[in-house]
Chains A and B, each alone.
Chain A
Amino acid sequence: MELKRVSDVVWEVPRTGGMRVPGRIFASDELMEVVLEDRSVEQVANVAHLPGIVEASMAMPDIHWGYGFPIGGVAAMRVSDGVVSPGGVGFDICCGVRLIASSFTEADFEARRDTVMGELDRRIPRGPGKGAIAPGSIVEEVLADGAAAAVRHGYGWPDDLDRCEERGTSKGAKPEEISDKALTRGRDQLGSLGAGNHFLEIQVVDEIVDPGAAEAFGLAEGMVVVMIHCGSRGLGHQTCTDHVRLMGDAMRRHGITVPDRQLACVPIGSDEGASYLGAMAAASNFAWANRHILAHETRQAFATAFGVSDTETGMRLVFDVAHNLAKIETHMIDGASTEVCVHRKGATRAFGPGHPDLPEDLQEWGQPVLVPGSMGTASWVLRGMEGNPAFGSAAHGAGRLMSRKKASRQAPGREVRAELEEAGISVRPLSVGLLSEEAPYAYKDVDVVADVCERANLAARVARVRPLGVVKG
């Protein structure tokens, strides 16, 4: 597939065949070498076939091979005549990341390391299947109201919602569009971490690059923070499964064909489109509430471990942001203000300074963008930039470098755990054997990804955090 270099960190996949727009990949030379080793460029080109797509089929610096959309894919379709594609959101609807500040230092954590890790190990449900913090009886309310419903039931603090994308409640949620199967899967999972690449990580702020933004976000060098990565669990997975299946038949009625069945889509304005968007919003509310409840339990764990009240932990929310979502937004397209459905599949919203959707205290600085690396390396806090060239989007992580099969053959899980512990990172996995698939060597260098985000004007670096402990499924 042909690739043209447009600038320092921008590459174009020229329009060919049925592509309605070109592809545009934000990557350095170093990252592009890895991109070319899998089929992600082909996936960027495939997305460009979708009806109503505007400007370009884009990919963030952590791009890698997904199913349908590439991971790191961003595509905007005109609401007036474009399509919505569940594959552009993913099975884990509203998977995302939450970052919590604290009043603890690294020295505080070291003094109580085993106690803190023990509390989290005991309190955080994770792994496959059932087991959750919140009762299943509140699921319907959560589908309608998201994190706000969780607050009403005593989980978390009300002002957490100020620092949550969408204030933790997606507009237009239609709980009635969530199937009985999805409800069954999710009923016993509200307040659970899941498994795979999901995690709850205790970190320390290692380096401040932008002091003004860091202060506004509530971060300081040497501060212990907690990062939580998870999504809508089985409820979201089933919701996507249900709607991709429905859209397969509906596409034929709408006269749409796609180069990959996982790109199944329907017109945004169709009954099927409205049904999916309503279900997606409801499932995203489950995810907002899920991270909210896990954060609440984390506060309790720290409070118990340090013998203080949860207020005294100072564990205020820095931000919570999704990286698997489709949203109706207004952007300038060819000089005209246009309503589009922005699909971000493994890509984070990254609104710049002055955006009306940001809380007042962040207006000057832009939205926090959270980019986790891997267990043994760093993660980054970035901020949205004015003039972002990707519909206000940025990377969502380091991006995988190698397949799970290859990663699991490189070293056994117990060896990965031993190396992490030796590096001062406490690990509490539910399954030690699975650690090798998520080992640091399986991921790209997050420092490079963060650097390219800044060079590409996607998001600017604010602070680098490094891990002290991790809880995994």
Chain B
Amino acid sequence: MTYRILSHTADSGIEATAPTLPDLIAVLAQGMFDLMAPVEPGEGAEQVEIEVTSGSVEDLVVDVLSDLLFESESTDLLFGDFVVAMTGATGARVAARGVPISKTGMTGPPIKAVTYHDLAVEERDDGWYGRVIFDV
């Protein structure tokens, strides 16, 4: 499973496909943090866990990514190794491992927020598709 970086004039975005919705959330989260500074698998020593319930699968993706951004900025950690478990049709528990920002080299500007612009989270014949634009 992988994501593709989208072209956007002022900001940045990613799209991805995955077999399941939790897989999609995991790869979108990975893509969001990779835009800032890739964390190698197994590199993170600090664990974080969030639980989110939203009104729709689109809102769930935005809410999960937004909460991960909050955790990142409030702890000065960058995350990888995402493990996502659904708690309902539009709810998820997400665990991740973090590396201190001071120990990483930034490959992209910090992401300020997750937007709803051009947001897509869809179940298709061959799995799940997601697209998210970020404000940088």
Contact = CB atoms under 8 A, between A and B. Distances in A.
Interface of A: 38, 40, 64-68, 71, 90-92, 127-130, 181, 184-185, 194-197, 234, 237-238, 240-241, 244-245, 248-249, 260-262, 264, 400-406, 430-431, 433-434, 437, 473
B99 to A, nearest CB: 12
Given A65-B9, A403-B9, A129 B73 contact: yes
Given A67-B133, A127-B106, A128-B101, A92 B116 contact: no
Interface stretch (B19-27, B80-88, B89-97, B107-115): B107-115
A264 B58 CA distance: 15
B73 A234 contact: yes
B10 to A, nearest CB: 5
Given A91-B113, A245-B63, A71 B105 contact: no
A65 B106 contact: no
A180 to B, nearest CB: 10
Contacts of A90: 135
B136 A196 contact: yes
Contact of B109 (A64, A184, A196, A262): A196
A262 B114 CA distance: 10
A71 B112 CA distance: 16
A437 B114 CA distance: 20
A266 to B, nearest CB: 15
A353 B63 CA distance: 46
B8 A65 contact: yes
Contact of A264 (B73, B74, B116): B116
A262 B113 CA distance: 12
Contact of B117 (A194, A262, A404): A262
Nearest to B54: A245
A240 B10 contact: no
A40 B123 CA distance: 29
Contact of A261 (B5, B9, B36, B117): B117
Given A92-B112, A237-B135, A405 B117 contact: no
B119 interface: yes
Contacts of A260: 116-118
B76 interface: yes
A241 B117 CA distance: 13
Given A129-B76, A241-B113, A260-B116, 19 more contacts: A67-B118, A67-B133, A91-B135, A130-B76, A196-B109, A234-B112, A237-B135, A248-B59, A249-B55, A260-B117, A261-B116, A262-B117, A403-B7, A403-B9, A404-B136, A405-B12, A431-B105, A434-B107, A437-B108
List of 9 A-B pairs having minimum Cβ-Cβ separation, nearest first? A261-B116, A67-B117, A196-B109, A128-B110, A65-B9, A67-B115, A262-B117, A403-B7, A91-B113
B49 interface: no
Given A91-B112, A185-B73, A194-B110, A129 B101 contact: yes
Interface string B44-55: 000000000001
A104 to B, nearest CB: 31
Nearest to A38: B9
A66 B119 CA distance: 14
B43 interface: no
B64 to A, nearest CB: 13
Contacts of A404: 8, 11-12, 108-109, 136
A254 to B, nearest CB: 17
A67 B135 contact: yes
**Which of B9, B11, B59, B105 has the largest count of A CB atoms less than 10 A from its CB?**
B9
A241 B73 contact: no
A68 B116 CA distance: 8
Contacts of A241: 66, 113-114
B74 A184 contact: yes
Given A91-B113, A240-B113, A261-B116, A66 B11 contact: yes
A69 to B, nearest CB: 10
B80 to A, nearest CB: 16
Given A92-B112, A237-B135, A262-B117, A66 B10 contact: yes
Contacts of B115: 67-68, 91, 262
Contact of A400 (B9, B74, B107): B9
Contact of B70 (A181, A403, A431): A181
A65 B112 CA distance: 17
Contacts of B76: 129-130
Contact of B116 (A184, A234, A244): A244
Given A196-B109, A262-B116, A64 B10 contact: yes
A401 B7 CA distance: 12
A437 B12 CA distance: 11
A90 B10 CA distance: 13
B109 A195 contact: yes
Contacts of A400: 9-10
Q: Counting chain B CB atoms within 10 Å of each CB, which of A91, A127, A430, A437 scores highest?
A: A91
Contacts of A261: 116-117, 119
Contacts of A71: 9-10
Given A128-B101, A433-B107, A67 B112 contact: no
Given A196-B136, A261-B119, A433-B105, A237 B112 contact: yes
Contacts of B117: 66-68, 260-262
A196 B110 contact: yes
